Amino acid sequence: MGLVYDRLRKLAGSHLRNEGPGHTLVATALVHEAYLKVAGAEIDWQDRAHFFAVASTAMRRVLVDHAKGHRRQRRGGGAIQTELNERMLLVEAPDPAILEIDESLERLAKRDPRKVQAVELVFFGGLTYTEAGQMMGISEATVKRELRMARAWIRHDLKSNTATDL
């Protein structure tokens, strides 16, 4: 249990690294909140990588819910332009951008769920391209293609929605 908990705290720390100095969640709280989301779910655990991918996705959901709470408290908020890169999307984004990226991922999921799964496994789950490919039943090269296309789609989607919101 100690090894798993330490890795979960490191994973939570990577999610929180660039959240900003005033962020009210700490790594321990994020791990515990994510545990509460996953604990009651009936999940057919495939392997260790699957466990950490699910845990990372749960952490992302906790941070999104947290950001939505802040947005409701502020009653709005301006759009923030966000540059997507090879590093974890969530780590690079401040609270308002988390929501924009999450909404963009939801729109992409309606069109191409496999691209979203690749994003979640690699960017949020911290899996390698090989591990993600094994989980998804596709090659490493296909994972790379899916991620390249997903980044381009999300970048375009964020620009389109930011422009219409102004």
What are the sequence ranges of the domains in the chain?
2-165
pTM across the whole model? 0.56
Say what the pLDDT of residue 90 is. 41
Residue-averaged pLDDT of the chain: 78
Cα angle: 32, vertex 36, 39; to 5 degrees: 120
The residue behind tokens 């490919």 is 133
Tell me the CA distances in angstroms from 49 to 38, 91, 95, 108, one per residue in order: 15, 20, 27, 24
Whole-number Å distance between alpha carbons of 9 and 31: 6
Q: Which pLDDT tens digit goes with each residue over 85-130? A: 544 444 433 456 778 888 899 999 999 999 998 988 887 777 789 9
